[in-house]
């Protein structure tokens, strides 16, 4: 898959390929279960948070589909291709990212692709857990909103006239810069970067509030 990927999605696909490579003597096929195991192996990912939010901890799924623990730097044992169903999963993941306006394909998009494909073993397993595409999409939106948008905004608490000092102007400019970068991270589905910028935003807000109270 040559599309722009988040680090977690790239590692998930790599692990899926490694697992498939070790499962056959001749040219191996990546199937939907390999992709599901790859996604589940990425701890701290959006997909994991979504499943946890739906009451399906990844540890419970490990009883059926164990994680792939090999290093992503490991060598392939045999070349791999993708099964028709796995190829459909990746196509749907691309479409899901595009429809959401995200520049990178993430583990959440892969999870949607696995469900939307419908006929593979992974899709049947997820359906048996009560996981359907509409519920997952809603939970993805909730998770991303929680991760990247739950911040306090600077609001005036008293009706006062404040002299715009050079320091205050600089602080407000820094806040504007951080918010711009954070929105770009949100649009690109870069959750870790958005979280880091959220913390910077909160600190910038506290700085401005301190200047206003001086």
What is the CATH number that goes with domain 7-147? 1.10.1780.10
Report CA-CA distances (Å) from 47 to 40, 53, 56, 170: 8, 10, 11, 39
Which of 141, 146, 96 lies closest to 117, judged by CA?
96
Q: Token pair of 212, please? A: 């206003």
Report yes or no: 76 and 18 within 8 Å, Cβ to Cβ.
Answer: yes
Q: What is the mean pLDDT of the chain?
A: 78
Start-to-end CA distance of the chain, whole Å, equals 55
pLDDT at residue 24, as a whole number: 61
Q: How high is the pLDDT of residue 161?
A: 29
What contacts 102, CB < 8 A, 6 or more positions away? 109, 187, 188, 189
CA 7 – CA 112 distance, rounded (Å): 18
| Residues 48-74 pLDDT 10s | 888 888 888 888 888 888 878 777 677
Q: Would you state the pLDDT for residue 45? A: 81
CA 137 to chain centre: 12
Q: Which two tokens mark 31?
A: 């199937």
Q: What percent of the chain is helix, strand and coil (3-state, nearest 5)? A: 60, 5, 35
Residue 175, both tokens: 């806040």
- CA 150, 151, 157, 163 dihedral sign is negative
pLDDT of the residue at 149: 47
Q: Tell me the pLDDT of the chain (214 aa) as tens digits.
A: 556 788 888 888 888 888 888 876 556 888 898 999 888 888 778 888 888 888 888 888 888 888 787 776 777 777 778 889 999 999 999 998 888 877 788 888 999 999 998 888 889 988 888 888 999 998 888 887 765 544 443 333 222 323 334 566 677 778 878 887 877 887 777 877 888 888 888 888 877 777 655 4
User: How is the chain split into domains, by residue range?
Assistant: 7-147, 151-213
CA distance 85 to 88: 5
Which pLDDT does position 171 carry in this prediction? Answer: 76
What pLDDT is attached to residue 115?
A: 93
Vertex 81 angle, CA 79 and 86, to 5°:
145
Please give the pLDDT value at position 26.
58
């Amino acid at each position: 898959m040559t599309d722009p990927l988040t680090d977690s999605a790239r590692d998930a696909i790599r692990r899926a390929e490694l697992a498939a490579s070790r499962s056959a003597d001749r040219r191996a096929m990546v199937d939907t279960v390999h992709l599901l195991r790859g996604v589940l192996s990425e701890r701290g990912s959006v997909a994991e948070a979504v499943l946890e939010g739906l009451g399906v901890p990844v540890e419970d799924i490990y009883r059926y589909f164990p994680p792939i623990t090999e290093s992503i730097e490991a060598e392939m044992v045999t070349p791999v291709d993708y099964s028709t169903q796995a190829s459909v999963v990746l196509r749907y993941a691309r479409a899901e990212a595009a429809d959401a306006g995200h520049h990178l394909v993430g583990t959440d998009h892969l999870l949607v692709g696995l469900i939307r494909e419908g006929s593979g073993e992974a899709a049947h397993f997820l359906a048996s857990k009560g996981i359907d595409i509409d519920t997952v999409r809603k939970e993805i939106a909730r998770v991303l909103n929680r991760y990247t948008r739950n911040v306090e905004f600077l609001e005036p608490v008293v009706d006062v006239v404040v002299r715009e000092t050079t320091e205050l102007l600089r602080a407000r400019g820094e806040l504007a810069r951080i918010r711009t970068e954070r929105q770009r991270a949100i649009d690109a589905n870069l959750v870790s970067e958005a979280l880091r910028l959220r913390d910077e935003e909160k600190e910038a807000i506290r700085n401005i509030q301190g200047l206003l109270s001086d």
